[in-house]
Amino acid sequence: MSAVALSSAAVVAPRRVSWLKRQSASSRARVARRVVAKATAEAKASPKKHEAEWNSLGSVCAILGSQWGDEGKGKLVDILAQEYDIVARCQGGANAGHTIYDDEGKKYALHLVPSGILNEKAKCVVGNGVVVHLPGMFEEIDTLEKAGVKIDASRLVISDRAHMLFELHKEIDGLREAELSGNKIGTTKRGIGPAYASKATRNGIRVGDIKNMETFAVKLRTLAADAAARFDDFEYDVEAELEAYKKYAERIMPHIADTVELINSEHKSGKRVLVEGANATMLDLDFGTYPFVTSSNPSLGGVCSGLGLAPNKFETVIGVAKAYTTRVGAGPYPTELDGQLAEDLREQGFEYGTTTGRPRRIGWLDIVALNYASTINGFTHLNLTKLDVLSGLPELKIATKYTLGDGTVTTAFPSSIEELEKVTCVYETVPGWEEDISGCREWDELPANCKAYVEKIEELTGVECRYLGVGPGRDAIVVKP
């Protein structure tokens, strides 16, 4: 793990520390809700401000996380979902969490339902690459419907090829973590990995299988017997789960469809498709910090295989990156900070997981990792989020290179966990800014040092930082000219 030369005490501006000390967590949450409500009301009053910009993104746009997740993808998805006809999830499961806001500033935490659900004109698609926990999905649907959101088979469609996640997968997840002892991955224990393992070992159960409850029962009993043979402490009532799924079947049946045919037909007819990535590239099963990764492919390849959309149909691929970095769970994290600076940034940025509530680890922006993600995904634009959180810091650090354990300096991201744990970061230090930028809506309104920070990131990545997040509200975004 890298050491940061600049001490936390030296970095934190006195004004910033006193502001944080004066406000309790509940006070900050109330302030945030008021800010969001005001911002979303303003957004509703001027919905066409960036219409030309959003139209320029083409007929198929993917929004993908470029770091370790929690970058704030849901916000841009929420904005663009108002402009697209289809909003699709392609991989992951309820381990992903996207926070979005409606036009009155009300907050929704979504895990399986695509963020386009607040756009009444959008069709939301859960693709074949997602693992679906039906009880969890129904809970989300019930919460949304109680809030007045209309959800029927015309608005939410689930792939008949998507694999199902059962309570037995959650049980297995916990047993697997216990077996790992001191080498725990730090999973959400929501059964995502075991569900994908069932898919890979070809004894998984797909959503379409629920149409025939007789064969469905045989498959679930077989799956349970396999788990019982593997784990001595496995406790699971398969018959109770089967009874529950008889009721679930009636409710989910109208939503099941061949989404490969649907999404390609809609695209062919001229409909616009927005893909909502879950998790992020640095958690990718193939490209991330293995084994401290998720169980799917959140990179562009996983989008294609998780929806059945051909690569040549993608016109825009937007990488979402925080202006700093965060990570939840175990695993190497080269730019990680600790001490008071990390605590202050965590509180200022409300850095707690949407899915788990776990406090996120905090670090400086890592250009080595960001360029690696950009290479894999072919980002056409970057959405730099939470710039406002950095206000008040006199200096900011950007990791531009790694020094390996043998002294080699590199800009390549190592595949070896052992190597990553030994790297130290080569930093560039840039001036910070004191001004509160949460009210800025135009590029020229940003402080000079803030603009310089953005331009430095563009210089180091070779990708335009087109969209800049300056607050939690839907309209709290600056489109760089």
Catalytic site positions: 70, 98
| The pair of three-digit structure tokens given for residue 56, joined into one six-digit string | 């320029």
**Residue 200, exposed/middle/buried by CB under 10 A (0-12, 13-18, 19+)?**
exposed
**Is the bond preceding 291 in cis, omega lying within 30 degrees of 0?**
yes
Query: Alpha-carbon torsion 266, 208, 117, 81, what sign?
Result: negative
Please tell me the distance from the alpha carbon of residue 55 to that of residue 440, in angstroms, as a whole number. 23
Beta-bridged to residue 157, according to DSSP, are 125
Are 263 and 88 in contact by the 8 Å Cβ rule? The answer is yes
Report the distance separating Cα 267 and Cα 335, nearest Å.
Answer: 41
Q: How far apart are CA 215 and CA 176, in angstroms?
A: 28
Q: Within a 10 A sphere around the Cβ of 180, how many other Cβ atoms?
A: 13
Alpha-carbon distances, residue 246 vs 55, 136, 137, 254, 433 (angstroms): 44, 16, 16, 14, 58
| Alpha-carbon span 128 to 436, nearest angstrom | 43
Return the structure tokens found at 153: 């088979």
Cβ-contact 112, 94 below 8 angstroms: yes
AA identity, residue 434: E
Between CA 277 and CA 356 the distance in angstroms is 18
DSSP per residue over 409-474, as a string?
Answer: EESSPPS-HHHHHH-EEEEEEEE---S--TT--SGGGS-HHHHHHHHHHHHHHSS-EEEEE-SSST
The sheet with strand 477-479 has its strands ordered as: 256-257, 156-159, 123-126, 86-89, 273-276, 60-65, 316-322, 381-385, 465-469, 477-479
Residues near 350 by beta carbon (within 8 Å), at least 6 away in sequence: 28, 29, 32
Helix 213-230 with 238-252: angle, nearest 10 deg: 140
Question: Counting beta carbons within 10 angstroms of the beta carbon of residue 68, is it exposed (0 to 12), middle (13 to 18) or buried (19 or more)?
Answer: buried
